[in-house]
Structure 1
Amino acid sequence: MSRTAVHDISRPLLWRAVLLWIVVWAVCGLAAPIVQDATGLSTDVLALVMLAPALASAVVWLAVRRDLPAPWPPVATRAIVWPTVLALVWIAVFTAGLVAAGFSFGSGIGVAGVPLAVVLVAQAVGALGEEIGWRGTLQHLAESRMSRWVAALLLGAVFGATHVGYWSEGPLFVAGFSLSTALMGLAMVLIARGSFAQRMIPATLIHLGLNLVTADAGGFDDPWLLIAPAAAATAVVLIATRMTNYDPARIPRPASVPTE
């Protein structure tokens, strides 16, 4: 299947979908703290605002699905193994980089009175919710007008900047965090293959891994210290994809999906 056939969408239709996503995402994001307080759910278990990108994506799909680019074609199930491995490699290298930068671990990621397994599942759901919106819907739309590399870096940076809780720390803090999330987003797109759902597996693993590792390290006071570990992890993933000829055209697809 050609790239044009998969990603073709006119500029007006693209902006209509993007603007609808932004509006719904913003409304859900503003409503999330109210629902959080009403339910009494701890943000350490699951910050409901993390589900806003997925809800926005659902509305976009229901409202303008006929105008969206054709879906990413799926690949054979066995072809998802390598992206999953690379996601775990990214987490391992990122963690090693944090250790080299002087981070210490052992703060814990549990919440008093809540089983660790519940926290992990909730955090995975939250990470998936954000990835559905950012590396799923928005990445898919952006790739219709620009290269996937540029789209990944741009959306990764914007994703970091939308963490409004960090703005009280100043613009330099946000800039450092946004640069690290841009590198994270690039790694996700570098290894992403297959359908929407298949791409969510490695993306969610990387996102969840970063969240858990930084939480266990007790958070971070200087986001610029995250940049070198994120850059090293992304570089390792890039080298691995190049050394193994990680070419989408060579990845086996299900027999029902035509290829060119």
Structure 2
Amino acid sequence: MAKKPKAPRTPSILESAEGLEKLFLTGRRRRDQDLESAVRVFLEFLKGFESFTFTRPCVTVFGSARFPDGHKYYEMARALGRELARAGFAVMTGGGPGIMEAANRGALEGGGLSLGCNIRLPHEQHANPYLDQFVEFDHFYVRKVMLVKYSCAFVVMPGGFGTLDEAFETLTLIQTGKIERFPMVLMGKKFWGNIRGFAQKSLVAEKTVAPDDLKLLKATDSPKEVVAHIKEVLRNHLRPVQRKRGTKALAAKAKRST
């Protein structure tokens, strides 16, 4: 096959940039800092992996840092934390105030284990006082990995850009098979209604996602319903998957030994 002719390469914008503009445009590409950045990220992962010591199944709760004690969503998250704890789950959050604090607080009130992955920010974020174990991170990327790594279910409470980022990344990991089809629940049906409508009317309509992808999400306002849904999915979906994988592994091992 003949190669398609290429247009002449245009000069880099750096050739016409000067002073602070040039420094800004080159600042993110300085190779002398790449190794240092990689080492910092690695050490932060290592700190996270070494810090958490628990064995019970864990549910991660995402949500805004901005809802105060007494707000309806704060109280909803607090009730959720209690129900999850009473059902025998550990509760993990981003470790900050608002929804995160409420879920951790409820977990302790329910006699459960309360975990947090806090992020260091120049404003707003600080570790809440309702944590049995927590780690502070400098990198959002490392923090998000830790929030997903240990959990078998995810609950998304109302929130802003950060909550949406966490929710859609987790949903993408499930959709693409990077993690199991763990249950994922949206709490606050009124809050999430427009986003679910957008997904149906735009994403599904334009075929950028499949209709079945929306079935990965359940919406409810009931903490008890969240717990019941998580238990049902774990019992009816994940166990057959694990058995199937275990059977394949045994078959592969038997084949290698022959």
Shorter-normalised TM range: under 0.3
TM-score by length of 2: 0.23
Task: Answer with 1 or 2: which has the greater Rg.
Answer: 2
Of Structure 1 and Structure 2, the greater helix share is in: 1
TM-score by length of 1: 0.23
